[in-house]
Amino acid sequence: MNHPAKYLGLLVLLLNLWSCSEPELPQEVKLAMAKIPAKIDYNQHVKPILSDRCFACHGPDKNKVENDLRLDLPTAHEKKAESGRFALVGGNLAKSEVFHRIISTDPELVMPTPESHLTLTAKEKAILIKWIQDGAEYKPHWSLVAPQKTKLPKVENIAWVKNPIDRFVLAKLEEKQLKPNPEASRETLIRRLSFDLTGLPPTIAEIDAFLNDKSPNAYEKVVDRLLQSPHFGERLAVDWLDVARYADTHGYQDDGLRNAYPWRDWVINAFNKNLPYDKFITWQLAGDLLPNPTREQIMATCFLRNHPQSQEGGIVDEEYRTEYVADRVNTFGKTFLALSTECARCHDHKYDPISQKNYYQLGAFFNSNNESGEIPYTGEASPTLILTTPETEKLLTYIRTNIKPLEKKANNPEAYAQNFDQWLAEAAKQPEKYAAAKPGLIGHFTFDEKEPKNALQTPLTAAYRSGEEGKSPVAVPGKFGQAIRVDGDMGIEFNEHLTFDRHQPFSISVWVNSGNPGEEGPLFNRTNGELDNWRGYLCGLNKDGTLRIRFTHVYPANGIELVTHQKLTPKKWQHLVLTYDGSSKAKGVKFYINGQAATFKVVNDNLQQSMLYAKDKANWGIHHFRLGQASIKSITNVAFDEFQAYNRQLSPLEVTQLAGQQQAILHLLKTPKEQLTAAQREKLFRFYLFAFDKQYAQVQAELLQNRAKENELLTNQEEVMVYKELPRPRPAFILDRGAYDAPKERVTPTTPENVLALNKNLPRNRLGLSRWLLSKDQPLFSRVAVNRFWQQCFGQGLVKTAEDFGNQGDLPTHPELLDWLAVTFRESGWNVKGLLKTMVMSATYRQSSVPTEQSKTLDPDNILFSRAPSYRMSAEMIRDNALAASGLLVKKVGGKSVYPYQPGGVWEALAVRNAVKYEQGKGEDLYRRSLYTIWKRSSPHPAMINFDVPDRYMCSIRRQKTSTPLQALVLLNDVQYVEASRVLGERMLQEGGSTPEAQITYAFRALTSRFPRPDELKILKNLYQEELADFEKHPDRATKLLQEGEYKINKTLRPAKLATCAVVANTLMNFDEFVIKR
């Protein structure tokens, strides 16, 4: 009876034994298993495979996860497949569904699926299998664990070590049975150092001084001198300009010029002063949010504004503003976190733990700049910092010293009380005369005529305008007689006599009837239109019936913007008055609806410059005053009647009368003085003051004069774009598929929790974000920073993908060294010069770059740093090398961007409008350092682009290093290099010595920093003799060559010899060692 139970137990036992046994592996996987490391590390070996082959369907992007299986999380251990097996069972291949899927040959079962076009190699399968066998242990991604200093590794060849860097490098070399290279020659070292720390070659005198210095710290003295050089900041700035997407133009289609060079100069100075890196970053991210920020700290925030911006008319403002915010998020992610945050704009990141919500939460930090999507053709995109010079500040102080007592006097009723009493007595005798007087009235249009006609004999005229043929404003019944109605692209345009600037008082009075509820658009305005960012003044109707008043230099930040609390009633005549006192302050703007003063929400109160033009009187055309139309904006079904304009401020009593109480002034003038209430007396006083008091008029005239001077001074100052928070944060939302017009869930500023949650004690703004970056718990920032500085010295970072520390990026070659540098950098007080000195003082840095046979075999890509790197120098270094060697280089630091030689017609071929023609510079401008070359995004300098300078439309962390025939053609034929060869030829003859050998040696050393070898000298001497013979035989050829460039020819030198030396110098500029760092 017990036999069935006995057999059942035996069957279960057999099944258990079978499930515990190792399944048979395919033959190719068996072979691969023998070649993989004995110890498998999740981050180093497993995760890269999962990221490349599996995460697309089973990774962080929740929207793309199939079968609810995420292989990026340990929860994979808990997920059951249809087969009944768990996805992963540590130590048990048979029970792990992942194992069965990766070795399957069934297209219905195999993973990755055939449809994905991804496959696993035998080695990759072996690694995954070994990982499962060893327990399928997950670890946090290496870069998301805060760096810790480890003990310095023990090494055998301790004599080679010069500082801790060398211990980490040597330990890896000894592990691979490799020896480091010997130290490079002194000529090589000083050249390497000079380019790495200043971007310039050493002079022959500097080389000789180093060669002759026998002191034990000779090398360190060179390092210290270069770190203190004013050109150090220029060298570091070049890399930062790529990161910060710096350019001198706005980009997009129109690509007009911007004034960004003051920020570039700030970067240079910051590096030269060794501004601690934490401040360098904090100021650029949030300098404006620091307590009592300095001009420098505010200017630094231009970093956040360097992105492309559109000047094109007709764009959707919010669409482009959203792009600017996205650019800041992308730049922040790449620059400070080395994460591709942009991949989470439309959906959760497919490879890294950044959700779409995380992306827009980061974006919320950068969403409240007081900016617009469309920027002006003239003037800088607001908000800006006005860069007044010391001389201007003195003048402004003087002018404002004059203005202050005048404003005090203008606002002191007691100063005019006696005059008022005298006038009141006089006016009582002739009330009709004073009631009818309208001083300052410059135009009155009733619209009762077929064409608009001024009822006054003044120069103000008007005409009907329409953007559509056959249509124009039409006559309709008005408030008084006939009115005029506009409907769409049409309006009433007045001539130049309503063109007021910010220092000029004026008043506008008009009756308005808006026909349709929800209608919006301009009621009246005098602006330069959208291409000048609405420079001027405007009164517009909002959809909700409120009115928007703007006085603008560049919208939105440089201006006054007010929104009324009161609303207009559709289909009803209502009287509007705008009156302004010329103070450039919101409190100087009064607006009346039906004679009653409106109250405002003050959106902006920061009008600092002209409402007519930008610096140097630049504008995109001053448009005239219009009713119902503003540039391309218009309004539908609105009628206007009884338009009047004044060149002064109106009093409330005058407004009351214009609004329909036609006897308001006369009534009060006829009221006996003693019967006037306090309120009535005040109304009469204001009427008298604004219209009749000569003393007050004189004060106003003096104010006008001084404010005009202030206006002109401030408008003609340089400006630079900066970041300025709105008074209230702009709401931020998750955008469906990243579309500006598809908001979903509202979000608030915070940081990705999988990187590091934002400390609750930090403010939820950019200052809090920068402090989050600098936290010692922050796993990425310090690593990312030191990795880029390592890249500067060694050609590539310890993490080769310096822009990506995520799952798709490379692993660090020396993780312990990276962490040691990161922590040390933070502990040093973020000392950039100190960090770079540590790097270049190391024996690792000082190695020769010539590979040994052993290092070529065991370390072909030099990832172990078994030798110094060797690679082509940057475009800037190559050009600056030529200029420096020739003596042409102008070493002035900072200043406006310059226009050196470039082929003709490049700008002209691509420019649409605005900055259409390239105007080549003269004199010193042709020979400034390359980082000062004007950078036009749509037409970057061709020679620079040939040598892989990015166009800077977006953040660039590392440049390509290509080698192309075009590069050789540039060095052979570009006028900059041919001219530099000619001028170096002069130096060869004047300073190099009397023999061809001495002259050749001089050029060789100037261009390569070393003496030529005998075989090189022999080849170059043969070239010298051949060219000299040919130039003497063909003098016209020499004449033609010597005419290249603007630099004057030394006519005391023999042309044939000078041309010969120029050819030798130009040949050397095409020599490997001229362009390659050794």
pLDDT tens per residue across span 1046-1068: 999 999 999 999 999 999 999 99
Tokens of 393: 């500040």
d(CA 945, CA 876): 11
Q: Would you tell me how many other CB atoms lie within 10 Å of the CB of residue 363? A: 24
Whether residue 20 is predicted with pLDDT greater than 60 in this model: the reply is no
Quick one: average pLDDT of 78-90? 86
25-34, 412-421, 955-964, 1037-1046: segment of lowest average pLDDT: 25-34
- Give the DSSP letter of residue 68: T
Q: Would you tell me how many other CB atoms lie within 10 Å of the CB of residue 872? A: 18
Who contacts 175 (Cβ-Cβ below 8 Å, separation ≥6)? Answer: none
d(CA 770, CA 279): 9
Residue found by looking up tokens 């135009």 in the block: 443
Q: Would you tell me how many other CB atoms lie within 10 Å of the CB of residue 126? A: 22
SS3 content of the chain, % helix, strand, coil (to 5): 45, 15, 40
Is the torsion defined by CA of 631, 635, 639, 642 positive or negative? negative
Whether residue 19 is predicted with pLDDT greater than 60 in this model: the reply is no
Cβ contact 362:734 at 8 Å: no
List the end-to-end C-alpha distance of the chain, in Å, as a whole number.
Answer: 89
Q: Where are the alpha helices (DSSP H) in 104-163?
A: 122-133
How many CA atoms are closer than 13 Å to the CA of 779, on its beta-carbon side?
Answer: 17
Of 677, 399, 439, 630, nearest to 536 by C-alpha is 630
Cβ contact 77:88 at 8 Å: yes
Q: Would you tell me how many other CB atoms lie within 10 Å of the CB of residue 204? A: 16
pLDDT band at 154 (very low <50, low <70, confident <90, very high): very high
Q: Would you tell me how many other CB atoms lie within 10 Å of the CB of residue 158? A: 10
How far apart, in Å, are the Cα atoms of 75 and each of 57, 211, 412? 15, 63, 76
pLDDT score of 175: 93
* Torsion region of 595: left, alpha or beta (phi above 0 gives left; psi -120 to 50 gives alpha): left
Who contacts 496 (Cβ-Cβ below 8 Å, separation ≥6)? Answer: 622, 624
Print the SS3 string covering 651-718.
CHHHHHHHCCCCCHHHHHHHCCHHHCCHHHHHHHHHHHHHHCCHHHHHHHHHHHHHHHHHHHHHHCCE
Quick one: average pLDDT of 3-7? 49
Whether residue 43 is predicted with pLDDT greater than 70 in this model: the reply is yes
Who contacts 302 (Cβ-Cβ below 8 Å, separation ≥6)? Answer: 260, 262, 263, 266, 284, 720, 721, 722, 723
Whether residue 45 is predicted with pLDDT greater than 60 in this model: the reply is yes
Q: Counting Cβ atoms within 10 Å, is residue 886 exposed (0-12), middle (13-18) or buried (19+)?
A: buried
Q: Express as a percent the part of the chain with pLDDT over 70.
A: 98
d(CA 962, CA 1012): 27
Whether residue 249 is predicted with pLDDT greater than 70 in this model: the reply is yes
Across 29-38, b (16+ Cβ under 10 Å) vs e yields beebbeebee
The average confidence (pLDDT) of the chain is 94
Which helix (DSSP H) or strand (DSSP E) does residue 241 occupy?
A: helix 230-243
Of 452, 366, 809, nearest to 645 by C-alpha is 452
C-alpha dihedral, 135 to 136 to 139 to 143, nearest 10°? 130
Whether residue 836 is predicted with pLDDT greater than 60 in this model: the reply is yes
Cβ contact 377:914 at 8 Å: yes
DSSP per residue, 353-382: S--HHHHHHHHHHTS-BS--SB--SSSPPS
Is the torsion defined by CA of 136, 138, 141, 146 positive or negative? negative
DSSP per residue, 253-313: TT--B---HHHHHHHHHHHHTT--HHHHHHHHHHGGGSSS--HHHHHHGGGGG-S--B--T
Q: At 518, is the secondary structure helix, strand, or coil?
A: coil
pLDDT in tens, 734-752: 999 999 999 999 999 999 9
Of 818, 952, 943, 672, nearest to 168 by C-alpha is 818
Tokens of 304: 């956040």
pLDDT band at 311 (very low <50, low <70, confident <90, very high): very high
Quick one: average pLDDT of 655-673? 94
The larger pLDDT score, comparing residue 198 to residue 15, is at 198
Quick one: average pLDDT of 851-870? 95
pLDDT band at 83 (very low <50, low <70, confident <90, very high): confident
Who contacts 657 (Cβ-Cβ below 8 Å, separation ≥6)? Answer: 663, 664, 665
Q: What residue type is 170 in one-letter code?
A: L
d(CA 515, CA 570): 5
pLDDT band at 727 (very low <50, low <70, confident <90, very high): very high
Cβ contact 791:959 at 8 Å: no
d(CA 250, CA 1059): 43
Quick one: average pLDDT of 698-716? 98
pLDDT score of 21: 59
Q: Is the peptide bond before 383 cis (omega within 30 degrees of 0)?
A: yes
pLDDT score of 138: 86
pLDDT score of 11: 42
d(CA 493, CA 445): 12
d(CA 374, CA 321): 8
- Angle of CA points 494, 497, 503, to nearest 5°: 125
The larger pLDDT score, comparing residue 306 to residue 11, is at 306
Quick one: average pLDDT of 935-943? 95
Q: Express as a percent the part of the chain with pLDDT over 90.
A: 85
How far apart, in Å, are the Cα atoms of 941 and each of 256, 906, 907, 928, 1058? 16, 9, 9, 14, 29
pLDDT in tens, 51-69: 888 888 898 887 788 888 8
pLDDT in tens, 263-296: 999 999 999 999 999 999 999 999 999 999 999 9
d(CA 951, CA 940): 6
How far apart, in Å, are the Cα atoms of 529 and each of 313, 536, 538, 792? 9, 8, 10, 47
pLDDT band at 14 (very low <50, low <70, confident <90, very high): very low
Domain 407-709: assigned CATH number: 2.60.120.200
d(CA 659, CA 576): 8
Quick one: average pLDDT of 992-996? 96
Which phi and psi angles does 294 have, rounded to 5°?
A: -80, 170
Whether residue 410 is predicted with pLDDT greater than 50 in this model: the reply is yes
pLDDT band at 16 (very low <50, low <70, confident <90, very high): very low
Q: Where are the alpha helices (DSSP H) in 829-926?
A: 832-841, 843-846, 853-858, 875-886, 906-910
pLDDT score of 1: 42
**Judging by DSSP bridges, how do beta strands 589-593 and 596-597 pair with one another?**
antiparallel
pLDDT score of 177: 94
Cβ contact 90:135 at 8 Å: yes
pLDDT score of 314: 87
| Strands of 839-975, DSSP E | 871-872
The edge-to-edge listing of strands for the beta sheet with 600-605 is: 462-466, 490-494, 626-627, 521-527, 536-541, 546-554, 558-567, 600-605
Cβ contact 1004:1069 at 8 Å: no
pLDDT score of 1033: 96
Cβ contact 540:551 at 8 Å: no
How many CA atoms are closer than 13 Å to the CA of 906, on its beta-carbon side?
Answer: 18
